[in-house]
Amino acid sequence: MSNQGGVQYSKIAEIKGPLVIVDGVDNAAFDELVEIETTEGERRLGKVLEVGNGKAVVQGL
């Protein structure tokens, strides 16, 4: 999960369908739009659904 010109996170804990759980998150907010970059380099938008305990749940759009 990345935010262009901002913070990047690369510790994907789990992927379940359109949801991505990211570890090591300390600066994300509910309803924030983020950019997700796949292993193939493709970029997609996502939305933060939940943040807590150093994790974020992001829904791919």
Beta-bridge partners for 10? none
pTM across the whole model: 0.82
Report the pLDDT value the prediction gives residue 2, as an integer from 0 to 100: 47
Closest CA to 31 of 48, 19, 46, 18: 48
**Is-contact 11 28, C-beta < 8 A?**
no
In the numeric block, which tokens belong to residue 9? 């996170």
Per-residue model confidence as pLDDT tens digits over 2-32? 445 677 888 899 999 999 999 999 889 999 9
Cα 35 to Cα 38: distance, rounded to the nearest angstrom? 10
| pLDDT at 38 > cutoff 90 | no
Q: If you average pLDDT over residues 26-44, what whole number do you get?
A: 91
CATH code linked to domain 11-60: 2.40.10
Cα 34 to Cα 23: distance, rounded to the nearest angstrom? 15
